[in-house]
Amino acid sequence: MSFFKKLKESISGKTESVTKSFRDGLEKTRKGFVEKVSDLIIRRKKIDEEFYEELEEILIGADVGVNTVMTLVEELRGEVKQKRIEDASELQPILSRKLMELLRGDDDNSLKENPDGITVILFVGVNGVGKTTTIGKLAHRYKQEGKKVLLAAGDTFRAGAIEQLEVWGQRAGVDVIKQQAGSDPAAVMFDAVQAAKQRNVDVLICDTAGRLQNKTNLMEELNKIFRVIQREIPSAPHEVLMVLDATTGQNALSQAKLFGEKSGVTGLVLTKLDGTAKGGIVVAIRQEMNLPVKLVGLGEKMEDLQTFDSSQFVHALFAGMISEEAAEAGEEQE
C-alpha cells in the first residue's frame, strides 16, 4: 500500500487505535511545531522574505535539520512563484504535502525474522537513551504474540546494566542470560545462543555496551559478539537496532552518523518521542540517513513501543490540518 493510501486510511479512521498512540505521543511536537506554523500563516497574510525566515526558524526549531529546511523552503519559493500564490493560507496544504513527501520511505518497517529458527536482535546505543527499556518493551510485545523470548545481558561494563535488564525481564516475564559484571560480553552471547537453542526460543534479544562511538575497544567487542553469534547461527543477527533519544534532537542524528553504519546497524529506534517538541528529528533522520526508523517510543507503558509508520506519524502530527483531499492530491502525484 502506498504512503498516501495509508494516510487516507488513517484519516478515515480504519486504524484508529494506532493513530491515537501516535496522536497522544506527538502532542508536544504538534503544539511546538504545527501550531506555530498555523499561527504564522494566520498572522502573516503576505508571503514575503520575513515570512520565509520565520518559517525556517520554526522548522529548524523542530529539528527538521538545516539542510532539509533550506531545500524545503527553496521548493516552496518555487511553487509559490510558479502558481502565483500571494495569500499565506494557500501555502498550508502545500507545506503539509511537502513534509509528507520528505517522510515517505520504505513502507515496510517491520522487524526481520528468521524463518528457519531463532531470530537474533542486537541492540546498540549510548548510555541513557532508553536501550534497556526498549528491550523490555520489545520482549513484552513478542511475548504477547505468543513467542518464546530470551534476553542476553551483554552490557557487562556499565554498573547496574545487568540488574536493570533483569528487572525488565521480570516485568515482561522472560528469562535473562547473564554473567558477572566485567565479564566478556562475547562469552555471555555464546551462553545465550546455546540456551536459546536448548530452550527452543523464538527470539533472542541481546543488550550490548553503550559507549561504542568513542571507544575503539568497545567497537572491537561488538565485532567479536557478531562473530560468536554468526558462528552458531550463520544468518544472525537478523536486526541490529540502534536506540536514539529523540529529546536530544540533532545530537541523536550525530550519534547515528558517527557509528551507525560502521556497526552494521539495520534500523533505528527513537525513544521518548512523546517527551519532545522536536519530533521533526524523524524527518531529518529520514533525509540524512540510509537507515529506516523501525520503532518509536511514545510513552511509559509497555504498549507504547510502536512500529514506526510514516502515514500515522504525519496524520498524528497534522491532525485537523490534513484533509482526505490533500492525501488524494499527494496520491495522484505518486
Task: Please report, for residues 8, 106, 107, the alpha-carbon distance to residue 1 in angstroms, rounded to integers and kept in the order given.
Answer: 11, 11, 8
Per-residue confidence (pLDDT) for residue 117, from 0 to 100 = 94
Q: Set out the domains of the chain in order of their start, with CATH numbers.
A: 3-107+314-333 (1.20.120.140), 119-313 (3.40.50.300)
pLDDT-based confidence at 126, cuts 50/70/90? Answer: confident
Per-residue confidence (pLDDT) for residue 66, from 0 to 100 = 87
Calpha distance 266→283 (Å, rounded):
18
End-to-end distance of the chain based on CA atoms, in angstroms?
12
Residue written as grid cell 517522510:
103
For the ranges 164-168, 219-223, 260-264, 265-269, the one whose mean pLDDT is highest: 164-168
Calpha distance 66→79 (Å, rounded):
20
Left (φ > 0), alpha (ψ -120 to 50) or beta: where does 84 sit?
left
Per-residue confidence (pLDDT) for residue 159, from 0 to 100 = 77
Calpha distance 263→221 (Å, rounded):
11
pTM: 0.83
Quick one: what percent of the chain has pLDDT higher than 90? Answer: 37
Per-residue confidence (pLDDT) for residue 312, from 0 to 100 = 78
Name the binding residues for GTP. Answer: 125-132, 207-211, 271-274
Task: Using CB atoms within 10 Å of the CB of residue 331, give its burial: 0 to 12 exposed, 13 to 18 middle, 19+ buried.
Answer: middle
Name the binding residues. Answer: 125-132, 207-211, 271-274
Dihedral angle at the C-alpha atoms of 217, 248, 275, 128, nearest 10 degrees?
Answer: 20
pLDDT in tens, 12-57: 554 455 567 788 888 888 887 778 888 888 888 788 899 999 999 9
